Structures are given as structure tokens and as C-alpha cells.
Structure 1
Amino acid sequence: MRGFIAALTSIAMMSAASAEGLRHGAKVAFLGLGFVDMSTEGAYNGVRADETERLALVERLVEQRFLDEGLMLVDLAPIENKLANIANPGQCYGCDIRFGQTLGADYAVAGSVHKISNLIVSMNLSVKDVRTGEILRAMAVDVRSNTDTSWRRGMTYILKNGVFRD
């Protein structure tokens, strides 16, 4: 019962937070997307060049959408060395908020792509208020297939329905 109540509370909080839009002209620290390969193929063969390129493609898509929506991306140069040591900025125990504060950003944005197999890829993205640490927008989707098109569609869905929904 406690779990059910916690889930309802979490949903209510997300709904309340997401009712307010992201401020036009606000500063965004987009820390990138982590890639977590949980597949058997990854365990045997290691990093694939096409997936590395695909991750960069999806990161550019996220950056462009924030710019198109009238938000400003802050320069990550002051935290570049620290960020390079973070494998997954989407799950770094509050580093996103700390980095956002260091950079003078209003929002910290980070996410991850989890490759379960060549058939199943899970993606997520969250937007947090740097001042309060509150999650303002967040969404996760699973896509079927490991292609540029499926990754682009998955992240476009998150941006349209999770981050920049009306």
C-alpha cells in the first residue's frame, strides 16, 4: 500500500511540476546522454562505432530542440574535465544539479540510452530546476531496433511529449 501511495504522490508531483512551462530564454546545461550497453553483444564485442555516432546524433537533436524552443545552452568548458569522468550524466547522484549551479544555468538536462539488445533500446531524459533540484520534466521510452531512425524517433517522442508538451 505504501508503494502505491508513493507512486501516486510521485505522479501528482510530476504533474504539478510539469504544468509550468520552461522559461523562454532560460539557460540550460545539457550534460549529454550516457550510453549503457547491457546487451550480450556489447559484453563480447565492446563499443560499436555506429552506436557512438548514433549517441552524438541524438545529443545534437536534443540541443537543437532546446535552441529551437528559445532556450540558451551554456558552455560546458568550465566543467569539461569533471564531466569527462562521468560515465552517465543521467544518473550521477546529483552531479547534474551541481554542474548546473557551477555553470549558472537555470535547468540541468541529462539522460541515458540503455541498449538491452539490438531489438530493445531504452531512452530517458530529464529536466531539473537547478535552484531547487526538482525534476520539472522527465520521460522514458523503449524503442524497437537499433538504428539511427529508431533512436531519433524515440528521442523526438520524449522531447515532444515529455519535455515540450503543451
Structure 2
Amino acid sequence: MNSLTRVAGAIAAGICVFALGVSAAAAATRVAVFDFELFDTSGEAGLNGPKPEEAHRLALISDAMRRKLSEMGYQVLDLAPEKAQIEEQTPFRNCNSCELRIARRLGADIEVIGLVQKVSNLILNINFQLRDVADGKVLRAGSVDIRNNTDESWMRGVSYLMRNRLFDPPLTGKATP
């Protein structure tokens, strides 16, 4: 085989690999992952929302969920185009599934919403729900109790949910091959 044939073969193989990658990316399930919210029933709630350290933890676990879904082959959508609507409608626990309309406008196939209930500074509960945007059907849901109001305990809780409720068993028909 001469060098010209090898180069042509390599180019053809590269085009095939690129085309497969483009088709897989085009087929990726689009996910709107909304920020986790805090529902403070501890009696410690501030008037202006979560305490700064709890706001940090909400962002931490929301970003962890987005990162993991992205690593698993999902296309995590940017929520910025609907920022005003999100701010107007939150907390989602009180809006009768209004986040589904927002997720549809973003072009999502599925959505993830999450809630952290603070029972006390020691006892918290992390919940999530993954729904089909087209029909609102719940595809997955999970809840875990954690002890300690620290970055580490919140991350362990959301990690448990991702491993044991979100991806086990694997979602069928929703992830890229």
C-alpha cells in the first residue's frame, strides 16, 4: 500500500469518526437541570433566602448534578435564556409544575428539579425528580437524609442519589449510546 492510499484511508476514517461523533452529539438527550432549592422548616430561615453557606451548597450540588449528567452523555442546557421566568416562578415547589413550560421553551427532553429540606442544622433531606418534559411523567425520583450541614455531607447525599437513584438502573432511551 502506498503512502497516498494510507493518507486517503486515514482521512476517510477520520471523517467517519467525526460523522459518528456529530450524530451522537445531535442525538444527545437535552436536559434542563434547575438549581436545587432550600425549604427551611428548621425555624432558622433568614428573611432574604438561604444563608450564604447554604446558597453555596445549593450551587455545589446543582453543579455536581449538571456535571454528572454531562459526563453520562446528556446535553445539559443553559438556563440563562429563561432566567427571568425562573426567578419569577421559584420556588418551583409552589408553582404547580410551571418549570415544565420553562424546560419546553429551552428545548429540553427531560428536566431535573431538586429540593433540600432543612429540618434542623443537623438533619437535612435532599430530594430530586427527573421528568419527561413532553408529558410531565416522572422518570426518576429520589430522596436521602443527611446529617450535618456541611459541604461534605451535602455532596455525599447528592452523590448517593446520582449513583443509586438517578443512574441505577440506567435510564433507557434517554442517554446517548
Question: What's the TM-score bracket when you normalise by the shorter of the two chains?
Answer: 0.7 to 0.9
Offset of 1:156 from its aligned partner? 0.7
Q: Answer with 1 or 2: which has the greater Rg.
A: 2
Q: Please name the residue that 1:139 is paired with.
A: 142
Give deviations 1:59-104, integer Å, cap 9, x for gaps.
1111111111110111212211010123323553111211111111
In the alignment, which of 26, 29, 35 is matched to residue 26 of structure 1? 29
Q: Does 1:38 align with 2:53?
A: no
Offset of 1:47 from its aligned partner? 3.7
- Answer whether contact 2:30 2:108 (CA < 8 A) is retained: yes
- Answer whether contact 1:96 1:109 (CA < 8 A) is retained: no
Q: Secondary structure at the match of 1:138?
A: strand
RMSD: 1.9
- Answer whether contact 1:111 1:124 (CA < 8 A) is retained: yes
TM-score, reference length from structure 2: 0.75
CA–CA separation in structure 2 for the residues paired with 1:106 and 1:98: 12
In the alignment, which of 53, 58, 70 is matched to residue 55 of structure 1? 58
TM-score, reference length from structure 1: 0.79
Aligned residue pairs, count: 143
**Which ranges in structure 2 are unaligned for 5 or more consecutive residues?**
1-26, 170-177
Q: After alignment, is 62-71 or 95-104 more displaced?
A: 95-104
Q: Does 1:120 align with 2:118?
A: no
**Identical positions, percent:** 36
